[in-house]
Amino acid sequence: MSVNLSGRSFLKLLDFTPEEIEYLLDLSAELKRKKHAGEPHRYLEGKNIVLLFEKTSTRTRCSFEVGGHDLGMNVTYLDPGSSQMGKKESIEDTARVLGRMFDGIEYRGFAQERVETLAKYAGVPVWNGLTTEFHPTQMIADILTMREEFGRDLHGRKLTFMGDARNNVANSLMVVCAKLGIDFCACGPKENMPEKGLVATCEKIAAETGAHLAFTSDVAEGAKDASVIYTDIWVSMGEPDELWGKRIELMRPYQVNEKMFEVAAPDAIFMHCLPSFHDRKTTIGEKIFEKYGLPELEVTNDVFEGPRSRVFDEAENRMHTIKAVMYATLKDPE
Ligand code: CP
Ligand code: NVA
């Protein structure tokens, strides 16, 4: 049966079958090819979308904007301080208002429940641009990047997430790996392992797809034979700055460095959703250096800038894959 995602929201990957995810990956690759070849693809000419951001963003916002424009759409951006949502107007009411004006709504913000509520009341597709629990559009870009590196068949490959293994990116990586039959390893302190309920759900999915899920606090075990070593910042957006001290103490052993690649697969690559604290060229990075004396945090600058790093391919792929998500959900059913 052919895949049809018209009219669907994109809230979390648990809502999608492996076939639907593969379809989005194929569509992303095709849209990337067209963009690079300069072939116009204004398939959604005249549609209007709104981007609702309650947290800051570079990649996600720009991907929705450029992707939307490439598809021929008009794009409205609402920044973290400029809509009534939550302060003077409920999410339910905001959803019903925006749904009357726009063909699709992107939301980045706090609890997953908020984006689910938006989708329930909007009457148009809603796309999750990151919540506290999940970051599903990032995953399509990450798997596309893996396909470009290792080919279409990723079964038996191991992806290891090092560090804060219960954040939105780690959760979503576990889900996408389980769905696509890719081995997933969460490697970090015991306190920061993915939540049990989500692990149980993913274990069930993995049993059907052949993925193997592993959880360890041992760095050598985590890095062993990994095709991808992936990390993310140690304190996510929405978490208090006071957490930095404790997190640095907990996460330091999991900083991705060259040594980890000695036991990884010979063709292993490094991935990171970005932004990254790999040097002191940011205000937060510099403050942390002054307070804790660490010039690089979740990844060493050597690895970030080295030949195994694919972080800017991932960043570019955000645009092609977000474009695919918008096109697949807004196009007329065939
Ligand atoms: N990876 C990612 O979502 O980046 P932004 O926070 O810049 O959107
Ligand atoms: N875990 C990070 C991801 C940023 C793209 C955060 O939520 O801040």
Q: Where are the domains of the chain?
A: 13-134+317-330, 158-226+228-263+269-307
C-beta pairs of 19-23 under 8 Å, 24+ apart in sequence: 21/140, 21/143, 21/176, 21/179, 21/180, 22/180, 23/328
**Catalytic-role residue among 8, 272, 318, 320:** 318
Share of the chain above pLDDT 70, in %: 100
Mean pLDDT, all residues of the chain: 97
pLDDT tens-digit map of 211-223: 999 999 999 999 9
* CB-CB contact of 324 with 27 (8 Å): yes
For residue 233 and ligand 2, the question of a CB distance below 6 A is answered with: yes
Is residue 273 among the annotated active site residues? Answer: yes
Selection from 109, 115, 119, 112 nearest residue 78 by Cα: 109
Atom 2 of ligand 2, residue of closest alpha carbon = 236
Share of the chain above pLDDT 90, in %: 96
Enumerate the β-bridge partners of residue 214. 185
Instruction: Kindly calculate the radius of gyration of the chain based on its CA atoms and give it in whole angstroms.
Output: 19
Give the CATH number of domain 158-226+228-263+269-307: 3.40.50.1370
| Rounded distance between C-alpha atoms, residue 199 and residue 14, angstroms | 12
Atom 7 of ligand 1, residue of closest alpha carbon = 58
| Rounded distance between C-alpha atoms, residue 102 and residue 264, angstroms | 47
* Sequence-separated (6 or more) residues with CB below 8 Å from residue 285: 277, 279, 297
Architecture label for domain 13-134+317-330: 3-Layer(aba) Sandwich (3.40)
Q: Check if 13-134+317-330 and 158-226+228-263+269-307 are the same fold.
A: yes
Is residue 135 among the annotated active site residues? Answer: yes
Taking the complete model, does pTM exceed 0.85, yes or no? yes
Element (H, E) at 312: helix 311-330
**Catalytic-role residue among 114, 135, 272, 278:** 135
Is residue 272 among the annotated active site residues? Answer: no
Can you read off the two tokens belonging to residue 37? 């070849």
Is residue 138 among the annotated active site residues? Answer: yes
pLDDT of 1 reads 62
Q: Which ligand is nearest to the CA of 51?
A: 1
pLDDT tens-digit map of 57-115: 999 999 999 999 999 999 999 998 888 888 899 999 999 999 999 999 999 999 999 99
